[in-house]
Structure 1
């Protein structure tokens, strides 16, 4: 495992070092608003529908015996 070699060789940092080609992600209010702006109302509605469907499927699996 890479981290065991890293510590054996004297490495002390546990944070990942930036590497070429690796994107840096950060959740900022600007980023969040940009993503919200890119989602259409239809896409939002579909995501809500899928979440609701998944919720009820899982709820019924876990609590189906209690609901009559």
Structure 2
């Protein structure tokens, strides 16, 4: 009976550890996705700024 309880306790700990690891991995994946999204927005804004700078330079050179 004691062996069965010990085995059950060990199994419960393993399941709890696996669930915690899965949750941690899911949170990390969500954080990576957020960072990638922010990075993409920043790159788009940088491209828009660079394009605008080129347009302003053209206008200044025409003057």
- Larger helix proportion, structure 1 or 2? 2
TM normalised by structure 2 equals: 0.39
